[in-house]
Structure 1
Amino acid sequence: MLRIEFSGEELSRLRTADGPDPLWETALSLHLLQRRQVPLAYEGWKREVTTALRRAGLARAAGALTRLCPHASYFPDFLTPTSGRSGFESGLDLVLSTPRARLTAELERLHQGAHGRPPPGARLLAEGDTEALQRLGHALRRYYAVAVRPYLPVISAAAAADRSYRAEAVLSEGPAGMLRGRDNGRVPAWRTEGSTLFAPYPFERELRLEGRSLTLVPSFFCVQKPVAFADPSLPPVLVYPLTPAPGWLSPSARAEGDPRDGADRTVREKEAGSGGSGGPVAQLIGASRAQLLDTLDRPMTTSELAAALRLALSTASRHTTVLREAGLISSRRRGSAVLHSRTPLGEALLNGSTALNGPTTLSGPTALNGPTTLNGPTAAW
């Protein structure tokens, strides 16, 4: 049982997130995939996603993710950053920018438990190794594209219905109405006693707010029990279950709305060079990657590219990985840094030449299409 005691001020500052958090949906859907038995409402989803992951060649990557995010009483908090609700890509950037000290502490805690053997390369990930983080980001992005993003219309509809329910409760009961449970046969009802909230939880726990605001985050793939950060020093959130509507997997239900949230759409438009910005190269490989390729008039390190283009180091590193896999740049280690240079193929692409030495197309196992691409390496970290 989870116990949260509110002061009058803390109760007045209680808020509900605008919608589901894409990183929480990713993590909790991984939990759902690991369960031998899932609620009836999710059985079809589990079958669909398991088949889709296998067909996309993502079984190994998904397996590595489940070892990093086990269905257990603890999984690392860094996988669900507190400010990730503005979109999957912005949340992923926060995951990949996690300080090394935090990575080390949380992964050491994970492997102290009885969750099986650590995944290959876990030590490198705990040390903040750039390539290990790249592989993690690659796997999370491709898993999200298969297991979560196709279902966003249904997820958004469920969140909107729940938000409306809680808004009505606040109008009739005041701020405490936001804590009202919904006993619908799947989610055991929360209850309040005075200024204290009691909610079902995997173990006995008291969450102390200490004057901080609690944010309620709805989650479609959170089942039966709410979830909170393991680290009590993080901004307090309570991720709580939504209820799938009957027949939510039907094509008509899933076709309603746009299956992409606004932030993800912005990223894709930028990557595609839409809105009249960017030339053919930008439209082919994405504006950011085209700009990076154009910047490489001389060999440059990842840090130099990040500074020149005003990108996060993790973002610049991901772009160089994609361009290298496409054969557009080459990379070699120089001391502790990695030096990148354009290849003849990269030069030809920028110059619009058709006399390409090597592959004549950019199709195949290269992740040039942004977060929806499901090909490429599936190495575990």
Structure 2
Amino acid sequence: MIRLHFTAEDLCRITLAPAANALAETVLGARLGLRPGGRGGGGRNPGQTRRTRSAVREWDRSPRGGPGLRAGVLAELLAEDGFVPDFLLQPGIQDLSGALEAAVATPVERLALDLGIPEAEGWNGGLVRPGRWARELAQGSPAASRALLHETRDFFARRVEPLWPRIRRDILADRALRSEMLLRGGVEALLTTLGTTWRWRYPTLHLPSASTYDVPLCGRGLLLVPSWFATGPSVMYRPEAATVLVHPLYEAAGEGAEGDERPEALAALLGRTRARVLALLRTPATTTALAERAGVSLPAASHHAGVLRAAGLVDTVRTGTAVLHSLTPLGHSLLAGTAP
């Protein structure tokens, strides 16, 4: 379990990334392609079982996704248990060229710490067995830096750029949804709905992980970075700035949830309106927002949510003066057609 500990100052300093981050998407896409079935870790959160969105699974099976990253410095940096070194996450620079230049300009002392090289000089949270490329990069080798630049640009051009318009659109949609949560339910609603298996209990956000870390935010806040390719959380601690949390998109933001046929298939079981309400809750909503989306009255929305909650398909939490409804894992499975 990774635990992010908030102070009152941190809760006032939660920000959303303005747009898709090209370097982060390239690195996370490359990491996914190195692992069969889209299994991976990330940042300081390796070794966890992840849930991959259907759009990403489709990309992973396509000719431009899946295995195929050439052996080299980028593959080596991502090859150990899903680890992503912090210097490859440049959260303040959205364009690929600028972020890559910043990454290769990282001081060698910082590179060595990120990669766990040498292990005796810092926390060994990096690669388990650093290879030749990683060691040369950490020693400031110009050849290793050029190789990293070339391989990352090549992977972006071949595998990510064809999807870039969709990735940018889906990430902007996710940002809009998070903003709606913040506007309608405040910080409590935003943190409660970040992930279906994540747990917010003031003042701590709990993220499932095979390892245990406690990360105090120290009043510097939290930057939320949505990712199209992320299959779980990645945490980047920055002692001089806000901690970064890279998180997967809402399923609805990238899947076109309202346009699929599953609610029609569930209509005979739940009723047409209730099946639609269930589908709409792929994106968590307050009762007021749910009524607006479904085109029903406020009492009707509350009633439908209550029935679905009693069936174990919806979870409801109070956030200040409002209540927030979201799907349970069973609700997600039923919509996906995978419920037992």
TM-score with structure 2 setting the length = 0.61
Please show how residues 164-203 of structure 1 align to structure 2 within 5 Å. Answer: 164-181=176-193, 188-203=196-211
| SS state at 1:75 partner | coil
- Structure 2 match to 1:41: 55
Cα distance in 2 for residues equivalent to 1:31 and 1:12: 33
- Structure 1 match to 2:166: 154
Matching residue's letter, 1:104: A
Q: Deviations over 1:48-87 (max 9, x none)?
A: 3557985xxxx425x54221123526432111124222x1
Cα distance in 1 for residues equivalent to 2:192 and 2:125: 34
Q: Does 1:240 align with 2:250?
A: no
Cα distance in 1 for residues equivalent to 2:240 and 2:209: 19
Cα distance in 2 for residues equivalent to 1:76 and 1:122: 11
1:114 positional shift? 9.8
Q: Deviations over 1:118-160 (max 9, x none)?
A: 4444332121122221111111111111222221222122212
- Structure 2 match to 1:23: 23
Which consecutive residues of structure 1, in runs of 5 or more, have no partner in the other structure?
248-381
- Structure 2 match to 1:70: 79
- Structure 2 match to 1:60: 70
CA contact (8 A) 1:76 1:106 kept: yes
- Structure 1 match to 2:96: 88
- Structure 1 match to 2:12: 12
- Structure 2 match to 1:98: 106
> Residues 70 and 235 of structure 1: is their aligned pair in 2 closer, same or farther, counting only changes over 3 Å?
farther
Q: Does 1:207 align with 2:215?
A: yes
> Residues 37 and 75 of structure 1: is their aligned pair in 2 closer, same or farther, counting only changes over 3 Å?
same
Cα distance in 1 for residues equivalent to 2:25 and 2:132: 25
1:135 paired residue among 147, 164, 167: 147
CA contact (8 A) 1:76 1:110 kept: no
CA contact (8 A) 2:116 2:127 kept: no
1:181 positional shift? 1.7
**Taking every aligned residue pair, what percent have the same amino acid on both sides?**
33
> Residues 189 and 105 of structure 1: is their aligned pair in 2 closer, same or farther, counting only changes over 3 Å?
closer
| SS state at 2:155 partner | helix
Q: Deviations over 1:166-186 (max 9, x none)?
A: 22211222233322326xxxx
Q: Deviations over 1:311-369 (max 9, x none)?
A: xxxxxxxxxxxxxxxxxxxxxxxxxxxxxxxxxxxxxxxxxxxxxxxxxxxxxxxxxxx
1:3 positional shift? 1.6
Q: Deviations over 1:226-276 (max 9, x none)?
A: 1112666664100010133159xxxxxxxxxxxxxxxxxxxxxxxxxxxxx
CA contact (8 A) 1:199 1:226 kept: yes
Q: Deviations over 1:273-332 (max 9, x none)?
A: xxxxxxxxxxxxxxxxxxxxxxxxxxxxxxxxxxxxxxxxxxxxxxxxxxxxxxxxxxxx
Matching residue's letter, 1:31: R
| SS state at 2:234 partner | coil
Q: Does 1:226 align with 2:236?
A: no
CA contact (8 A) 1:82 1:235 kept: no
CA contact (8 A) 2:64 2:158 kept: no
> Residues 204 and 14 of structure 1: is their aligned pair in 2 closer, same or farther, counting only changes over 3 Å?
same
TM-score with structure 1 setting the length = 0.55
CA contact (8 A) 1:75 1:110 kept: no
| Larger CA Rg, structure 1 vs 2 | 1
> Residues 71 and 144 of structure 1: is their aligned pair in 2 closer, same or farther, counting only changes over 3 Å?
farther
Cα distance in 1 for residues equivalent to 2:187 and 2:118: 36
1:99 positional shift? 0.9
> Residues 100 and 77 of structure 1: is their aligned pair in 2 closer, same or farther, counting only changes over 3 Å?
same
| SS state at 2:230 partner | coil
| SS state at 2:37 partner | coil
> Residues 153 and 14 of structure 1: is their aligned pair in 2 closer, same or farther, counting only changes over 3 Å?
same
CA contact (8 A) 2:116 2:125 kept: no
Cα distance in 2 for residues equivalent to 1:3 and 1:113: 17
